[in-house]
Amino acid sequence: MKVIVVGINHAGTSAIRTMMTQNPKLEVVAYDQNTNISFLGCGIALTVGGVVKDLDSLFYADANGLSAMGATIKMEHQVVSIDPDKKELTVKNLVTNEVFTDNYDKLIYAAGSWPIDVPIKNKELENVDICKLYQHAQVLIEKANDPLIKKVAVIGSGYIGIELAEAFHRKGKEIVLIDCIERVVPRYFDVEFTRRLEADMIDAGINLVLGAMVTEYIDNGSGKVRGVVTTSGSYDVDMVIQCIGFKPNTELLPDAKKIRNGALIVNEKMETSIPDIYAIGDTVALYNAALKEHTNIALATNAVKTGVVAASQINGAESVVLENVVGTNGIYVFGNKLASTGLSEEAAKTCGLDVVSTYFRDNDRPEFMEDYEKVGIKLVYEKDSLRLVGAQIGSYGEASHTECIYYLALAIQKGMTLTEIAMTDVYFLPHFNKPFNFVISAILKAIGLDYV
């Protein structure tokens, strides 16, 4: 059997490694238009800010390693089209410009995503940059160390935007962070957490321009950007970083079933609606247990898991499935250690769920221990059933309690209610927590047993 993999980043690498480990005799051919694979983009901001010293340390695999496992790896090759009826691909060698066809028995589609392009006037100016690839990281690092670049505009206040704002701020740049939404990271956190994060960003010197649309970049007369025009005013800058979001690259499969943003709907086996074509990584819409419908949640964690599942299914390990996800994520910026899973209260209500919430803030350890820190939690749950649909944790201090989000994510995946979660067998030790830890205390508050 011959398997072709289209795209070799996190998802594709995971699929190839799994297939070749399970079945070294399997014929696997993989194509990618880039010159490198497995780059951890989540480390770009850390490298820009000087926390990570070596950009190349963000790679965990290479084409030679996958070849050594038995796969045929073709870098700098662009898949131009896919014919599912013929099980045929048209491929272009980007070095020689040769165009050829290849055939498959099974295909794993892992073409990833790309930054969303928006119609902003003069977006082609020099020093208007995006952030996705290793090559982009090289450019951003160079400009972060350029003394002539003093003022930087970051467009988009999601995770990447805030992380880059902090990174360039660490390099001594004057930062304006612009977003059309009224709050930072609104997709993951409600106001109980974003209010403090915004205050800490302002205290650090970040100029937050929220609820404003960018309409134009201003030319300095020599083809470089010198300003940003928004619906809330204009700002002088030497550089712009667009971090508006990502769109899945699924144009090569126009007839497959998709959700609104173009992500491919897959089942628990990663099968698309097209026979013998699997999809993984940022290209897919997985079943969201909180929302009870398919959504596109582009995270490296999901990419790796989907790669393992698709590969295992092809190799006959049918018990390896991914039933659902809930979008568990975390961020550490401006002293805020934050994690969330499922839906925020705002998102749940926007999606039509009848939810309520409880927010609880407490010391993480008993006060008799004398040394303790603040932790906050918000639980979002259905009003009638008490089914948990979302959770957010903020940990403020030297310790981090954000990993408690893991068992709340599992609770959402399994459809558990608040009362069921409250009976989870957890431990108490004064060195680490309280008899009623902050999760249990939040649940007790939600059901009217507030003992604090």
Would you say residue 269 has pLDDT above 80? yes
Handedness of CA 5, 9, 10, 13 (dihedral sign): positive
Check 42, 136, 180, 351 and give the catalytic one. Answer: 42
pLDDT in tens, 405-446: 999 999 999 999 999 999 999 999 999 999 889 999 999 999
pLDDT for position 450: 73
Q: Average pLDDT for residues 181-209, to the nearest whole number?
A: 96
Indicate the fold that domain 2-37+58-113+246-314 takes in CATH.
FAD/NAD(P)-binding domain (3.50.50)
**388-396 and 336-342: which strand pairing?**
antiparallel
Is 351 assigned a catalytic role? no
H helices within 155-299, ranges in order? 159-170, 191-204
Q: Average pLDDT for residues 180-197, to the nearest whole number?
A: 95
Check 10, 77, 169, 401 and give the catalytic one. Answer: 10
Which among 277, 275, 177, 181 has a CA at the least distance from the CA of 235? 177
Number of H helices, E strands in the chain: 11, 26
Would you say residue 263 has pLDDT above 70? yes
Q: Average pLDDT for residues 136-158, to the nearest whole number?
A: 96
Would you say residue 179 has pLDDT above 70? yes
The residue extents of the domains of the chain are 2-37+58-113+246-314, 128-242, 339-446
- Kindly state the helix (H) or strand (E) to which residue 393 belongs, with its residue range: strand 388-396
pLDDT for position 389: 98
H helices within 315-422, ranges in order? 345-350, 405-413, 418-422
Is 401 assigned a catalytic role? no
- Name the pLDDT band for 88 (thresholds 50, 70, 90): very high
Would you say residue 451 has pLDDT above 90? no
pLDDT for position 365: 92
- Name the pLDDT band for 448 (thresholds 50, 70, 90): confident
Bridge partners, 152 (sequence order): 175, 239
Q: Average pLDDT for residues 311-326, to the nearest whole number?
A: 97
Q: Same CATH topology for 2-37+58-113+246-314 and 128-242?
A: yes
Burial letters for 80-90: b for 16+ Cβ neighbours within 10 Å, e otherwise?
eebebeebebe
Q: Using the 8-state DSSP alphabet, how is residue 223 labeled?
A: S
Q: Average pLDDT for residues 238-244, to the nearest whole number?
A: 96
H helices within 234-393, ranges in order? 300-314, 345-350
The whole-angstrom separation of Cα 275 and Cα 330 is 36
pLDDT for position 192: 96
CATH of domain 128-242: 3.50.50.60
- Name the pLDDT band for 187 (thresholds 50, 70, 90): confident
**2-6 and 106-109: which strand pairing?**
parallel
- Name the pLDDT band for 262 (thresholds 50, 70, 90): very high
Q: Average pLDDT for residues 60-83, to the nearest whole number?
A: 97
Indicate the fold that domain 339-446 takes in CATH.
Enolase-like; domain 1 (3.30.390)
